[in-house]
Structure 1
Amino acid sequence: MREQGDARDRLEGDRRTTVERLEALRRGYDLVVDAAEGSNADDEHDPEGATIAYERSQLGALVDQTREHLDEVDAALARLEAGVYGRCEVCGEAIPAARLEARPTARTCVEHAGHPRVR
C-alpha cells in the first residue's frame, strides 16, 4: 500500500504543478491575443523576430499539450481509485515500478507502449 500512497503523492503533485502551468500559459496566451488586438503593426513582416501570430501559435500548442497531460494525470488518479493503477491496459501484467516512477501516467508496460488499443 505504501507504493499506492507514493503514486498518489507523485500524481497529485504533478497535477498541482500542471494546473499552475496551464493557468500561467493561458494568461500568457491571453496577453499575446490582447496585445495583437490593440496593435496595428504588420507583425507578418516585422524584421525584429518572432511574430505575434507565431507566439500565439506556440503558446496555443503549449496550452494544448499541458491540457492533455492534465487529462493523463486525472486518468491515472482514476485508475488508482479504481484499483487498476500500475496494470498494463493491454496484457494486464504489472507495469514495472521503474517505469511508473519515470512516467507515473503510464497505462502500459514497455512492451505494449504505443499499442493501438491504448489511445
Structure 2
Amino acid sequence: MDQARERLEGERRHTLARLADLTEDFDAVVAASRDTNADDEHDPEGATIAFERSQVDALVRQARQHLAEIDLALERVDSGTYGTCEDCGRPIGDGRLEARPVARTCISCAGKPRERRR
C-alpha cells in the first residue's frame, strides 16, 4: 500500500500544479477580455475570448474532479480497500492501477454498462 500511496500523492501533486497553471491561464483570459474592446464574437482571426474562457474553465473543472478522485483513492488506501473492485470485490489488476491509480473497478466491471453492474 505504500507504493499506492506514493503513486497517488505524486498524482495529487501533479494535479495541484496543473490546477494552479490552469487557474493562471483562466485569470489571464479574463484579464485579456477586460483589457480589450474588440468584438471577439465576430473576430475572423480565431477563437473567441468567451470560447477560450469556457475551454479553460472545463479543464479546471476536470482537474478538480480528478483531485477529488485522488482524495477518495487515498481514503481507500487508509481503509484498506484500495485495489479492490467496488462492484465485484475482486482485486483490481496492477496494470490498471498503474495506468489509472484512481480506478474503483476492475477491467471486467468497468466494461459493463453502468446499469448492469451489481
Please indicate, yes or no, whether the TM-score normalized by the shorter chain is above 0.5. Answer: yes
**1:84 and 2:95 aligned:** no
Q: Distance between the aligned counterparts of 1:37 and 1:25, measured in 2? A: 18
**1:75 and 2:72 aligned:** yes
Q: Distance between the aligned counterparts of 1:5 and 1:58, measured in 2? A: 36
Q: Deviations over 1:15-68 (max 9, x none)?
A: 000001001101110111111122211001111111111110110110011111
Q: Distance between the aligned counterparts of 2:98 and 2:70, measured in 1? A: 13
Shift of 1:83: 0.7
**1:100 and 2:97 aligned:** yes
Q: 1:104 to 1:25 in 2, by over 3 A?
A: same
Q: 1:60 to 1:71 in 2, by over 3 A?
A: same
Q: 1:67 to 1:116 in 2, by over 3 A?
A: farther
The SS at the match of 2:114 is coil
Q: Distance between the aligned counterparts of 1:10 and 1:81, measured in 2? A: 14
Letter in 2 for 1:115: R
Q: Deviations over 1:83-114 (max 9, x none)?
A: 10000001111111111111110000111116
User: TM-score normalised to the size of structure 1?
Assistant: 0.90
Q: Percent identity?
A: 57
Segments of 4+ in structure 1 off by > 4 A? none
Unaligned runs of 5+ in 2: none
Equivalence for 2:54: 57
Shift of 1:115: 3.1
Letter in 1 for 2:78: E
Root mean square deviation, CA, Å: 1.5
Unaligned runs of 5+ in 1: none
Equivalence for 1:115: 114
Shift of 1:116: 4.3
- Larger deviation: 96-105 or 106-115? 106-115
